[in-house]
Structure 1
Amino acid sequence: MSVFPWVAWYALRRYTAYPLSSVAESVTNTAFAFMRAYVLLALWQARPALGGYDVTDAITFCFLTQAMIGPVQIFRGLELSDRIRSGDVAIDLYRPVGLQGWWLADDLGRATAELLLRSGLPMVAGMLVFTLRPAGPWALAAFALALPLAVLVSFAIRYLVALAAFWLHDDRGLQAIALVMSLFFSGMILPLVVFPGWLGGIARALPWAALIQVPADIYLGKRTGSDLVAALGFQAAWAVALLAAGALLTVAARRKLVIHGG
């Protein structure tokens, strides 16, 4: 049996070991969901049907994306960065399994734990106060595919940023840049549908759109038929491309470590 399911399982156990901490983070996400909701409510009252969304779509988008923060991991990088800085990555490289595969399995376990412990409260709270857009069975089924793809793209981006520490030695500046890009171009701050002209076109073509905007559009039923297939294909294509880039960069990083006597 492959070691990767065990890595994911132990990551799930590790990230569910302190449920009260996760509940506290969920409460924080919910509080920010209400703050964002009232900002979006004011915007959509001034500009109804902005970007093809109505008020209900905008509020649903707000609470849904707050529920996705944990699984998709918008605000944090990988522990791998710290291990590269400390030199503990040498232990990871001695394992008889691929570095990328190990950390991907670990991240999938983490994402499952975050989904179980952090994602429910924002949606329930939103339903109690506002009228949220209910997702149909087909939209829910498609969203169940889109969310794991979003996690894969998120991991691939964060893995590339973490590997940069092999060359930069201190990747905190790059981590800060990556955070800004993730917040702005994923739709976390504002739905990408409100971005005008060429900026909106570029934002929707970048990989960060696969993290939040695409899954949210699928949940809201904005992607159907061939457009839905294209949306899932967009996520899958970016996941494959970025994971392939991560595999190549892993080989380069391993060679660099050996060259420097690691």
Structure 2
Amino acid sequence: MWYVAVAAGSFRRYATYRVATVAGVFTNTVFGFIVAYTYIALWDARPHLGGYDQAQALTFVWTAQALLAASSLMAGGGLDELQERIRTGDIAVDLYRPADLQVWWLSADLGRAALQLIGRGVVPMAVGALVFPLALPADPATWGWFLVSVTLGVVVSFALRYLVALASFWLLDGTGLALISGLACLFFSGMVLPLRVFPGGFGEVAQLLPWAAILQVPVDVLVGARGGGALLRGLAFQAVWGAVLLALGRLVQSAATRKVVVHGG
């Protein structure tokens, strides 16, 4: 219940930024239109590119806009605050709390993601569905699996961003690394272009990287590109990357904690 309260508090905290949420909805919707018409031109020239028809490609566009903030596809999320606390030394207060540092921030990030999914995800998706022919499923079970996949994707995203934030213990200012991480996420998650479109071995490797678990897999679940065994393999892929990256985060956290103790933080 302790961590549930942290998640709920994070949800309420981000819910107070109503103007920022409205601005985010407007921005996501505008970019959705820009990218959608680009995809229409591309899929008119190359039908069934990457195995998607045009409706599935357009669904990819609007799902990506709906998940942009929730899955922190441009990095940051709530963990830029953690980076700043490490830089200023306020992290010492966090380490004295009777709670696990990683689970605390994971809970806060899940609360943030839930608010962003509702506040900045529903409206752009609804607008896209009203204007374009999207390949949205009629089966409620598919929507359920999609939400499970989105949750796993958020965990993978958190685990990656947590590692970047912890690097500030050694870099002192992790802004540069965060920018690099954000660019890698945008490209290798499929935000720029679905990973299925990438040619040959490069595309195959890109779909095995952890960023693919953040966006590519959830969208494939929603548009029906993953069903049956492929659906289970996709969810397992996300779960394995989440577990591996969280475990790596704990190792780095342990090393960072010893560094703080050595330096008297």
How high is the TM-score relative to the length of structure 1?
0.98
Q: State yes or no: 1:144 paired with 2:147.
A: yes
Aligned to 2:107: 105
| 8 A contact 2:74–2:183 mirrored in 1 | no
Query: SS of the residue aligned with 1:188?
Result: coil
Alignment of 1:146-161 (within 5 A): 146-161=149-164
Matching residue of 2:46: 47
CA distance in 1, matches of 2:251, 2:168: 15
- Cα contact 2:75–2:179 (8 A) shared by 1: no
3-state SS of the aligned residue for 1:72? coil
**Residue equivalent to 1:24:** 23
How far apart are the structure 2 equivalents of 1:134 and 1:93? 45
Code of the residue aligned with 1:48 in structure 2: it is P
Aligned to 2:87: 85
The reply to whether residue 183 of structure 1 matches residue 186 of structure 2 is yes
More displaced 10-residue stretch of structure 1: 16-25 or 61-70: 16-25
Q: TM-score, normalised on structure 2? A: 0.97
Cα distance in 1 for partners of 2:192, 2:84 equals 28
Question: Is the Cα–Cα contact under 8 Å of residues 226 and 234 in structure 2 kept in the other structure?
Answer: yes
2:55 aligned residue: 56
Which amino acid in structure 2 is aligned with residue 110 of structure 1?
R
Q: Which residue of 2 aligns with 1:206?
A: 209
Shift of 1:170: 1.1
State the partner residue of 2:233: 230
Contact kept? 1:27, 1:121, Cα under 8 Å: no
C-alpha distance in structure 1 between counterparts of 2:144 and 2:100, whole Å: 32
Q: Which residue of 2 aligns with 1:215?
A: 218
The letter for the 2-side match of 1:238 is W
Alpha-carbon deviation of 1:28?
0.4
- Structure 1 distance, partners of 2:176, 2:190, is 22
How far apart in 2 are the matches of 1:14 and 1:50? 42
**Post-superposition offset of 1:18:** 2.1
Instruction: Name the residue aligned to 1:75.
Output: 74
State the Cα RMSD in Å: 0.9
CA distance in 2, matches of 1:114, 1:137: 22
Q: Which residue number in structure 2 is paired with residue 261 of structure 1?
A: 264
Gaps of 5+ in 2: none
Identity value in percent: 51
Q: Is the 8 A contact 2:197 2:203 kept in 1?
A: yes
How many residue pairs get matched? Answer: 261
For 1:35, the equivalent position in structure 2 comes to 34
Deviation at 1:20, TM superposition (A): 2.6
| 1:243 counterpart residue number | 246
CA distance in 1, matches of 2:6, 2:134: 37
In 1, Cα distance between equivalents of 2:182 and 2:136: 30
Contact 2:164 2:177 in 1 (8 A): yes
Distance 1:188 1:15 in 2: 24
Q: Distance in 2 between matches of 1:4 and 1:200?
A: 38
SS in 2 for 1:187: coil
CA-CA distance at 1:176 after TM superposition: 1.1
Kindly provide the CA deviation profile for residues 190-247 of structure 1, in whole angstroms up to 9, marking residues without a partner as x: 0011000111011000000000000000000111111110000000000000011111
Whether 1:196 and 2:199 are equivalent positions in the alignment is: yes
| Distance in 2, Cα, partners of 1:74 & 1:18 | 20
Cα distance between partner residues in 2 of 1:97 and 1:205:
33
Work out the CA distance in 2 between the residues paired with 1:144 and 1:199. Answer: 28
